[in-house]
Amino acid sequence: MAETLTLARPYAKAVFELAHERKATEHWGSFLKLLAGFTLNHEVQVMLGDPRVPAAVRAEVLLELCSKAVQKPDVHARNFVKLLAEYRRLPILPEIAVEYAALREQAEGVVNVELRAATSVDAGEQARISAALKQKLHHDIKLTCVTDPTLIGGAIIHAGDLVIDGSVREKLSRLAAAIIR
């Protein structure tokens, strides 16, 4: 997962810069989401994984699917898909779409935050966490809460590259490390 994100970031950044320059960030976001959805289809995955299928054919299949679903991709979109096909990066389109969305939200002043807690977090607590993070990060917060029964207690917050680990498991690990020393 970390490897695919590392590969996806430069592509997402390049597309975002192009889209931002052309004032088409929403259009590109939709296009990437559509492409990512196609790559999650089993038949498309089989085609993308088949080394006998030439890169040009892979690109054309995805572009044809896009043409049938929405509208014919412009020259920049076509070149982007062909480039990804040539370098065998079509399978990471879902990660590229996610990274692109994060760049777009960051440019719009929004940070996606995942709150992973051992139990469900009520709306009041979510609001307090969002307010504290908004003050700390100086951006609007889009909070997603996930219940993770593998946590003993506490919570872990992921906001981009920032990780705040307030889980009981982490506290126990630190205590054990301190005892060992």
Map out the domains of the chain with their CATH numbers.
Answer: 2-105 (1.10.520.20), 109-180 (no CATH)
Rounded (5°) CA angle 123-127-132:
150
Coil, strand, or helix at residue 175?
helix
One digit per residue, pLDDT tens: the chain, 181 residues? 568 878 899 999 999 999 999 999 999 999 999 999 999 999 999 998 899 999 999 999 999 998 888 778 889 999 999 999 999 999 999 999 999 998 998 888 888 889 999 889 999 999 999 999 899 888 888 899 999 988 888 889 988 778 888 888 788 788 888 888 7
